[in-house]
Structure 1
Amino acid sequence: MRILILADEVWNDYIFGNGVLTNWFTNFDAEFAEIYLSPGVPNNKICDKYFQITDRQMLSSVVGKRAGGIVVKENSNSQMMVQHQGIYGYLKKLSTTIHTPMMMIRDAIWCAGRYDKIAIKNFIDNFDPDIIFSSRMATPKFLRFERIIHSVCNKPMLAFTGDNEIGFDCYSISPLFWLRRWYTTKMFERNKDIYSHYFAHSKSQSLLYNRKYGIATSVLYKCTSNSQPEHIHAVNQPINIVYAGRLYCNRWKTLAALGRALKQINRDGQKIVLNIYTLDTLTEAQKRVLNENFSIYVKGGVTPKELIEVYNHTDIALHVESYDKANKLATKYSFSTKIIDLLSSGCAVMAICWEEQTGYQYLKEQDAAICIPNYDSIEYELKELVKNPYIIREYAGKALACAVKNHSREAVHRQLTGIFQLVINRNRRIKEL
């Protein structure tokens, strides 16, 4: 089986050590090529053939040379920071403060720019894929790109999203946000017929796309690592909770609410502590509430390998999302890939999220985590764990069982192979008619 990957970011495991492409396709029985839409040189052990298109090329193509060209894969980590340089890095920095206007400027560049369709077609024809797998969030930039690929390659296309990408189940006070959202939704509706199958992290999102747009859909999760612990360790004193990840989307406010509960519980002696591992630089507001006065210790960043060792000495691995309206709706369909890592960590998993958040719903449905739906319940649930620490070991076992049953590499590969082969066979039958 030959699979052509379409992606927004460069496939570089030094930059994206937790990337889903490497997670899904490690030891997968297929040959891969990729077309990606960002700067940087790829670095992974799976794919060797690449075609690249960048913001700079697309901007130049409006009046000059058409965009796109073959790149050679890098065999070292020397290109780790390339994606942060040039116009790409400049636009990304600006987008953190004036997000929607900068994204609309970028949309305009990618919708007006000219692709080198001949070079793209030659690259695809030389590889001769059986299917196209498009892993991305729907944006005007990428939806147009998918139509271009569809026009030069008569092969079935499957897509994956992990985000709330279209429709109006979201929140913003910006008219530009709603204009861009409307335009993206209209472009998606135009594209819907080119998708032979659509994967999502969210069961509710999959059902929505199937019912509303008539697209064949299914839920696709990340694989677990192959290094699950052999046994569940005894509970520490004090109980050790770990959060590893970014603080954005107001996740830090949920961590602060947890800290306030810890402060109350630890008034007469330290019973539970929260250790945070993040590469983010704390703002002054974050420093005021994420500190030792609230039994919170910010440790800085760790590598994925180091994090495994951290979890080996941790009781509870934490997953949180924000409770403010804008971020609740923005992350409604997001299933953090870290959840799978948490399930296989050997720790009990604790989820503090809105009840309609996809990750929370899954963990609750599987009874694989201690699920806390609101701030008011945090202190009560933590006190129960202090009184009954056996619950922590019980949920550590449930988390591991869920990881092994539902997220083994073998199970995910069976799912992907079955759907890929079904789509390929259907396409062959159509051609024979």
Structure 2
Amino acid sequence: MDLEKYPRVLIVTVNPLSTTSNNGKTYDSFFKGYPKERIAQLYFHREIPTSDVCENYYKISDEDIIKQFLSRSENLGRKVYRADKEERLIPEKINNKMKKSAIVRFIRSLFWLSLDFEKNGVKNWLDKFDPEIIFFCGGNANYLYNNVLMLSKKYNAKIVYYITDDYVLPYFSLNIFDLINRHWTQSVFKKMCKNSSLILTIGDKMSDVYKERYGLVSKKIMNLVQIKEKIILNNELKNNDLQFVYVGGLHSNRWKVLSFIGKSLERIEKKGFKGTLKVYSQHQPNEKILREINNKEYSRYCGSLDSEGVKKVLEESDVLVHVESFDRSSKKITCLSVSTKISEYMASANCILAVGPEDVASIEYLLETESGFVMNSMENEDLDNKIINIFQNPDKRVKYMENALLIAKKNHDIEVRRKEFQQDILNLKNLK
């Protein structure tokens, strides 16, 4: 392999590359097969990376910023390895409560403005790697953007800017700190777009909306997955005692919709249709959410899964559940985003049930591609009838499963789409 033709890519993101967690898994799918010697990741979270796609990681977390502030240390952050253990100064329960406060998020952003890539440790690490391309996904971490632009200028590195969630479209709020944070993010977002050589989005809806509103030209790229050939036969499908499974985050009030599904399964059993919902999520929910999800034998939180566990559960389930919350505050984040789980669900060639508002991108995607049973209502009778429809219509289940597999091959095939992505990276190396 001619390593010199591959530009040195510095991945700058909030979360590390991962085999299990949302965005980290998406970045992992993009860079599989890229020479490890030509990749490094700088990230800003206490989490430890689990991906072997990269072997050169540098971490700066809240704890590192606090230590620097208290001790006035000349060093900032450290190199990390997959065998390391996560460090935590702030207990997880307290941290989760603090994240819900707009004023706390704003103060934290101000605190992070002290971030300085000229500090010992991180400066030496960056100088040694000397990036040619910076792959950046910053989300609403507005305090990172100007630092990334400075890195680009210092190392004469081109920027590939990836946008996965919307934090910039205007929306009404009575919370002044929410509005300040969003205005700040919008400002640095526009500057980042102006200085990027390639802009990527999570899907067609985001690309279309941003082109119309901001004049941005972008390419879509979603989570990439291994596609398996699978023939689906009607006589292989059970018509009762179905196992429904949800794998994903419980944030953005998704847990409320899962609780709603569990209650529906309890009601329809009286009509002769038996089903159970198993919920898997990386982080254990608090007591209140657990009480809502755990509904007798009809729905239950079953813990977290590693990458192999996810594959096994997806293969063995009868119906894969995706949910999006109907409340306005949750929709403002998820409106333009296609969940990383959608591609995995499609590639599994199993039946999909999606419950959520029709104007959220993940739900739109499944509707437009006819890839699953989709419910846009929170009315008990509507959901009961939709789930009963799954039990009674194996032909429709097969049709949706086949459609989903075709879409997975078209839009999410890791063998095809990562080659396109990595070729774009190679093309940037020679771009003047």
Indicate the residue corresponding to 1:277 in structure 2. 280
Separation in 2, partners of 1:297, 1:57: 37
Which runs of 5 or more residues in structure 1 are unaligned?
none
CA RMSD of aligned residues (A): 3.0
Task: Give the conservation status (yes or no) of the 8 Å contact 1:201–1:335.
Answer: yes
* 1:394 equivalenced with 2:399 (yes/no): yes
* 1:21 equivalenced with 2:19 (yes/no): no
Indicate the residue corresponding to 2:295 in structure 1. 291
Distance 1:297 1:393, change over 3 A: farther
Cα offset for 1:348? 0.9
Cα offset for 1:277? 2.9
* 1:51 equivalenced with 2:58 (yes/no): yes
Indicate the residue corresponding to 1:68 in structure 2. 76
Indicate the residue corresponding to 1:330 in structure 2. 333
Indicate the residue corresponding to 2:194 in structure 1. 193
Distance 1:269 1:330, change over 3 A: same
| CA deviation profile, 1:317-371 (whole Å, cap 9, x unmatched) | 0100101111122211222111111112231112111111111111222222222
Task: Give the conservation status (yes or no) of the 8 Å contact 1:334–1:358.
Answer: yes
| CA deviation profile, 1:125-173 (whole Å, cap 9, x unmatched) | 433433110123132222132123123121110111211121324x544
Task: Give the conservation status (yes or no) of the 8 Å contact 2:352–2:371.
Answer: yes
SS at match of 2:430: helix
Task: Give the conservation status (yes or no) of the 8 Å contact 1:57–1:67.
Answer: no
* 1:380 equivalenced with 2:348 (yes/no): no
Separation in 1, partners of 2:292, 2:44: 40
Task: Give the conservation status (yes or no) of the 8 Å contact 2:265–2:275.
Answer: yes
Give the residue type in structure 2 aligned to 1:146.
V
Give the total of aligned pairs.
419
Indicate the residue corresponding to 2:360 in structure 1. 357
Give the residue type in structure 1 aligned to 2:166.
N
Between 133-142 and 36-45, report the one with greater CA deviation: 36-45
Task: Give the conservation status (yes or no) of the 8 Å contact 1:51–1:68.
Answer: no
Indicate the residue corresponding to 2:345 in structure 1. 342
Match of 1:109 among 90, 111, 126: 111
Cα offset for 1:25? 1.4
Q: Percent identity?
A: 21
Separation in 2, partners of 1:33, 1:296: 42
Indicate the residue corresponding to 1:127 in structure 2. 129
Which runs of 5 or more residues in structure 2 are unaligned?
1-5
Task: Give the conservation status (yes or no) of the 8 Å contact 1:311–1:346.
Answer: no
Distance 1:123 1:289, change over 3 A: closer
Indicate the residue corresponding to 1:206 in structure 2. 207
Cα offset for 1:392? 1.7
Separation in 1, partners of 2:345, 2:21: 21
Indicate the residue corresponding to 2:419 in structure 1. 414
Separation in 1, partners of 2:301, 2:273: 17
SS at match of 1:405: helix
Cα offset for 1:117? 5.9
TM-score computed with the length of structure 2 as normaliser:
0.85
Match of 1:238 among 237, 241, 246: 241
TM-score computed with the length of structure 1 as normaliser:
0.85
Separation in 2, partners of 1:124, 1:205: 32
Cα offset for 1:226? 5.1
Cα offset for 1:27? 1.7
Task: Give the conservation status (yes or no) of the 8 Å contact 2:253–2:330.
Answer: yes
SS at match of 1:27: coil
SS at match of 1:394: helix
Match of 1:154 among 136, 139, 156: 156
Separation in 1, partners of 2:322, 2:313: 16
Distance 1:300 1:57, change over 3 A: closer
Between 261-270 and 53-62, report the one with greater CA deviation: 53-62
Distance 1:409 1:285, change over 3 A: closer
Cα offset for 1:241? 1.8
Separation in 2, partners of 1:95, 1:406: 37
Cα offset for 1:48? 2.4
Between 3-12 and 210-219, report the one with greater CA deviation: 210-219
Give the residue type in structure 1 aligned to 2:11.
I
* 1:261 equivalenced with 2:264 (yes/no): yes
Task: Give the conservation status (yes or no) of the 8 Å contact 1:228–1:345.
Answer: no
* 1:316 equivalenced with 2:319 (yes/no): yes
Task: Give the conservation status (yes or no) of the 8 Å contact 1:239–1:273.
Answer: yes
Separation in 2, partners of 1:182, 1:275: 39
SS at match of 2:401: helix
Cα offset for 1:207? 2.7
Separation in 2, partners of 1:399, 1:70: 43
Cα offset for 1:412? 1.6
Cα offset for 1:10? 3.4
Indicate the residue corresponding to 2:219 in structure 1. 218
Indicate the residue corresponding to 1:178 in structure 2. 179
SS at match of 1:380: helix
